[in-house]
Structure 1
Amino acid sequence: MAANILTIPTTTLNNGVQMPAFGLGTFNIKGGEGVDVIKDAIDIGYRHFDTAFLYNNESELGEAINDKIANKVIKREDVFVVTKLWNTYHEPERVREGCDKSLTNLGLDYIDLYLMHFPVSFEYHGDDIPWPKSGPNNEPNAINDIDYLDTWKEMEKLVDSGIVKSIGVSNFNSEQVDRLCKEGRIKPVVNQVECSPIINQKRLNAFCTERDVLIIGYSPLGKKLISRPEIEEIAKKYDKTAAQIILRYLHELGVTPIPKTTHKKRLKENIDIFHFQLAQEDKEALDAMNTGERTVRLPNSIHAKHYPFNLEF
């Protein structure tokens, strides 16, 4: 059954904003194909789109959205656009600059949700150098250890200015989220983290839920994961795809999944997860797959003061 936007639930963020509880991740979706994929997604019923300055595809997302607005398929307020402040713009005086560049790339007047991509800060060596190197051995990355709280305070000003509706974080651990909740003027509305049956983030999710911070889950699917026999067996039981089982599992955990695909058939399948429920024994079988193993890490940054993945959660 094709997805219908009316069947896709929204979740209320801690500032009262409604966010679609399912989105499209766009990492590596670029060029003309990227524009077409996003247009297809809009036609299918997707309304939550996730990009980042680092992905170098904000312009593709903006082009697709503005085309659909011009053709009266959607209105601007119908779509929820998420992008991210990259590590080279953490210096307080560069935060607005980073946001303005994303707005220009997107061709939009405001961003629905602006995330700090990582708590780790890099030196700024130019807009086209996201992974700066430094030192006598030209070592990556050029880390300058700007305090993420100082960066956050500048992001709060973006909300005050109206060019950003909500702010949140990505790849933050529990201590870092707690610090922002306690010391920031505006509480983060989300923490976007890697989330799948392999790393289900239950402890971090519970921690964030206590603070009214929602988890958005990136990289929920993978070839090795969706081909695992135990997931395929569950999928047969429900007459669903393995991807649908995984995405439904995350939804039932209270996570907003943002899977990526460039295939129209899978775009339709992935979002069609709101008309069935998993039995308890199947959720427990998926729970049992959790190892906490990450596939996404910030390379060459483990010794940074604010590196987030040294804590258990």
Structure 2
Amino acid sequence: MTDAPQLPDQTVALPAGARIPLLGFGTWQITGDEAVRATSAALEAGYRHLDTATVYGNEGEVGRAVAESGVAREDLFITTKCPPNRAGRELDTLRQSLELLQTDHVDLWLIHWPGDGSVNTDMWRAFVEARESGLAREIGVSNFDVALLDEVTDAVGVAPAVNQVEWSPLLFDATTLAEHRERGVALEGYSALRGGTLEHPVIVEIAERTGRTPAQVIIRWHLQHEVIVIPKSVHADRIRSNADVAGFELSDADMAALDGLTTARR
């Protein structure tokens, strides 16, 4: 029997009172029975934060895995996302998501990517309505730059709780991180294990020296920056390994080396 992974217990407080686990399980490009199996494996490994989206086409499978897991709903943090082409139909889209996820609310609902013109502010008003009606505990955005964060905040008077963006040691930007902190917007990273990160020699060296996998080093780097991270895999052993990041810490020198990989690429 494999030892249970040591999952981090770190969370970030969000504006409406929810706490989002820094470690989540991503489900992009996982569909059908494979999505049920992978989500079930994540829940069995101890993940309690699940990330899906309308356009992923797997909300029903994620909902089925949750229903079959026996994990209490109040112990879970579930995120889904609404694409901008659903502008004007936001609440109907969310209700469809809730039906598929077999829940009466999501913990975080995101605009999946920016729309054109007034779409973002129009959608953001609907998102605030969803939060006020209890359909979504927290609301946020994805793939927005800081100017767009300010635009929707200024127009509606409510700041996004979270902005989910592509993020890794190869994409690190201290200014972007600081700008989010200044606005009280939690930064969440996706695709952390893509784009050559797992093979990068600096990351591989740190992994070998610390007795960890490159993926664990990357995930730990996110946690020490207090950036939410949602690694995904369809393999149960990797799902467990990616969660097993509470038992070590990267040194200041290692963190600085990882932060510097972006500069080294320029």
Q: TM-score, normalised by structure 2?
A: 0.93
1:223 deviation in Å?
6.6
1:1-313 matches, cutoff 5 A? 2-4=4-6, 7-68=8-69, 73-90=70-87, 93-121=88-116, 145-222=117-194, 224-290=196-262
For structure 2, which runs of at least 5 residues remain unmatched after alignment?
A: none
SS in 2 for 1:290: helix
Runs of 4+ with deviation above 3 angstroms: none
More helix by share: 2
Name stretches of at least 5 consecutive residues in structure 1 with no aligned partner: 122-144, 294-313
Task: Report the CA distance between 1:21 and its aligned residue.
Answer: 1.1
How big is the alpha-carbon RMSD for the aligned residues of Structure 1 and Structure 2?
1.8
| Percent identity between the two aligned chains | 36
TM-score by length of 1: 0.80
Q: What is the Cα deviation at residue 260 of structure 1?
A: 0.8
**1:49 match: secondary structure:** strand
Larger relative contact order (CA 8 Å, sep ≥ 6)? 2
Mapped to 1, the partners of 2:135 and 2:42 lie a distance apart of: 25
In the alignment of these two chains, the number of paired residues is 263
Q: Structure 1 CA distance, aligned partners of 2:199 and 2:80?
A: 31
Name the amino acid aligned to 1:267: I
Which amino acid is the alignment partner of residue 24 of structure 1? F
Flag the 1:13–1:233 CA change in 2: closer, same or farther, 3 A. same
Q: Which amino acid aligns with 1:47?
A: R
Alpha-carbon distance in structure 2 between the residues aligned to 1:182 and 1:157? 17
CA deviations over 1:202-251 (Å, ceiling 9, x no partner):
22211011111101100000272211222111111111001111111111
CA distance in 2, matches of 1:174, 1:202: 13
Residues 292, 227 of structure 1: CA spacing in aligned structure 2 closer, same or farther, 3 A cutoff?
closer
SS, match of residue 3 in structure 1: coil
Write the distance in 1 (CA, Å) between the matches of 2:235 and 2:258: 25
Q: 1:247 to 1:215 in 2, by over 3 A?
A: same
Structure whose CA Rg is larger:
1
Structure 1 contact 181–211 (Cα < 8 Å) conserved: no
